[in-house]
Structures are given as structure tokens and as C-alpha cells.
Amino acid sequence: MVVPAERRFHESTSIKESCGAQILRVKTLNIQKSNVVEKGIGTLLLEMQYQCAIKRYWKDIRFDLILYSTPPITFNRVISSQKKRCKAKSYLLLKDIFPQNAVDLGMFSKRSLIYRLFRKKEKVLYQISDFIGCMSLANVDYVLTHNPEIKADRVEICPNSIKLLEKPLMASTARKNILQKLHIPINKTLFIYGGNLGRPQGLIFLLDVIAANEERNDSYFIIVGSGTEYGKIKSWFEANHPDNSMLLSSLPKKEYDDLVKACDIGLIFLDRRFTIPNYPSRLLSYLENRMPVLLATDMNTDIGRIAERNGYGFWTENGNLDTFMEMVDSLSADREKIKVMGEKGYEYLKSNYTVERGYRIIMKHFE
């Protein structure tokens, strides 16, 4: 496995051992939760950095199958050279569609040089991949529609997955302890947003929801995360002092996991401008903890439609405040509905988002 060691961690390129596997950590610039300039330069340098590190540390190792995911889309030379050297097969896990997502958010236009550069790299990436696994059917349709040169039998659904462990439900005393520690009310329906606080999430609408929730007395919102938009959200909290919500920049992993278990409903937000069908991975954490999901997204992703069709969530377009607050009201007023929808989500997770299923989807091509 090859992974970046971003410069913020002050690590040199090295090999680590974990669970019987070798992990090659390659020193890079900061490519996540950083400014646009460093992220862009760092992404472009990844290809050269990975290629040099693999040549230095693993030049005598032969690979049978190369797995890689987006973002980023700048590994074409690495993949091509290793496929040629090892006569290996390749499988792309398409978790993000770039550069169109950046165009959607207004970061640059389709007429720009940077768009043409990255679009060319995207096309080559699809070309050198023997198979492409997409997050959902909407992603499959998008890839085939916008890249008609790709044969349909090379593209399939291979969604995000987790190693599912049977977890006992949180005891009431443990729930009370974690909530009291964080000064969160124990007698309200708790809605949690956990994860990246960036531009793709369209979080201005989340602040509208929090402001509207101030008129309620039975629901409480918790936001945990970091990212490029954290400063704006923090400033809003400092200016408005909401009583029915809380912002936390980060928590130790166990404490965060316990907090998620103690909450009732998960939240997913996506910017309404997206024309690509995103499928956020934080969904899996909510389903694992038997939580219904409320979603406010663009019209092109199918994550909300899938949630509603399978009974574990409610969805509306990002910006529809009245509808979203009706969704909040529907769940806050009905504890039994929360339980039933949470169980449906957990069953859907077991059937669709486990690593065992993901393994079978990929390996059926190579057995």
C-alpha cells in the first residue's frame, strides 16, 4: 500500500508495517484540508513522488493487481509503468469525479487551461484502468454518458465499504456520561454532522438549519469536523451564540465514535451546484450506528433517493429550508420511527457496504 505522508506530519518517506502489510508512506505537500495553491501543486507532484518512492523501495516486488482511488487523478504514469513492469491488472475505485466537481464549485471554468489539463489526465486514467468501480448507479451513468469511449462492461457499482463488527447498543449510562462531558443535553433528539467542513458540503445551508432550529425545544445539532469552511462556521457561532447547537473542531477518535453512538440522526450536506453525483462516505458511519439520515444535496446525486427508497433516510435539495425542518420535526416527534429507520439502514449496510461484498465485486474479474 502506498499512501501520502503530508508535510504537516513532519515524516520522511519510509515503510511501516501494519497488520502484516507493508505501507509505503511517501512525503508530500499538504493535499487535504489545505489552501488551493498548495493542494494543486501537491496533487501535481504526487505522481513523481510516488514513482520515485516505489522505484526506490519496491523495485524488486511484482504486483498482480493495482487498486487505486480518486481523488487524485494524477497517478497515470505510476499505474501505467507498474502495469507494464509487472504485467498487472488495474481497478479504479472512482470516489470523486474531478475536474468537473471543481468547475461546479466555481474554482475554474471549462475554458481554462487547468481544466483541460486535468480533464486530459482524467480521460487517460479511465483508459488505463481495466475496470472502474463507481459509488452508485448515478455515477455509472455519469461516467458512461460523459465518456462514451468507455465500454459499459468495464464500469460497475463498487461502493465505499467498511469492515462491519457487531457492536452492542450504547448503554444509557455511557450515553449520559459522554453527553454530560461535552455539555450536550440528554433529553433532546440529537442530530450530528461529522466530517469535512469544506466547500463541497454547501454548509451555508447547515447554518440556516441551525438558525431555524433555535425556534424548537426538542432537537439539538452537533457539528464535529475541520476543513476550509471551519473558520466561517466558527465565526457564525461566535456571532450568534445558538442555544440548540454545538460546534466542535475535533475529538479523539474513541470519543468521537462514542458521541456518534450517543446521537440519534446523522446529517449529510452537499452543495446544490454539483452536476456530478457525489456519494459521501460518512453515510456508512451513520448506518453502522443504526441512525436514520437526513440529507440536503444537489439534484444529481442518488444518495438521497437510495436512502428514501430503502427506508433509512429523508432527502431534500440543499436550500429547501421548510422541507428540511419538516424532516427534522418528523423524526424529533417519533422515537419509534428513529429506531425503525435506523434498523433498516443497518440492514442495508450489511447487504451493500461491507468489505466482503466489495472484495467479491472486484475479484470476480480476476479469479
Q: Are residues 79 and 143 in the same domain?
A: yes
Q: Does 362 fall in a domain?
A: no
Q: Are residues 102 and 176 in the same domain?
A: no
Q: Are residues 43 and 67 in the same domain?
A: no
Q: Which domain holds residue 30?
A: 1-59
Residue 172: the pLDDT is 86
Q: Are residues 123 and 196 in the same domain?
A: no
Q: Nearest-CA neighbor of 303 among 339, 358, 348, 357?
A: 348
Q: Does 358 fall in a domain?
A: no
Residue 314: the pLDDT is 98
Residue 335: the pLDDT is 93
Contact call for residues 237 and 247 (beta carbons, < 8 A): yes
Q: Which three cell numbers stand for residue 252?
A: 479523539
Please provide the distance, in angstroms rounded to a whole number, between the alpha carbons at the two ends of the chain: 21
Residue 270: the pLDDT is 96
Q: Are residues 223 and 237 in the same domain?
A: yes
Q: Are residues 35 and 83 in the same domain?
A: no
CA angle 186, 165, 183 (to 5 degrees): 20
Residue 227: the pLDDT is 86
Q: Which three cell numbers stand for residue 248?
A: 466542535
Q: Are residues 270 and 151 in the same domain?
A: no
pLDDT averages per 10-residue partition of the chain, 367 residues: 86 86 87 77 86 89 93 88 93 95 92 92 96 98 98 97 85 91 95 91 94 95 92 95 93 91 96 95 95 97 98 97 97 94 97 97 93
Strands (E), the chain: 2-6, 14-18, 21-28, 65-70, 89-94, 131-134, 155-157, 189-196, 219-226, 245-248, 265-269, 293-297, 313-317
Q: Are residues 321 and 200 in the same domain?
A: yes
Q: How far apart are CA 104 and CA 16, in angstroms?
A: 38
pTM: 0.91
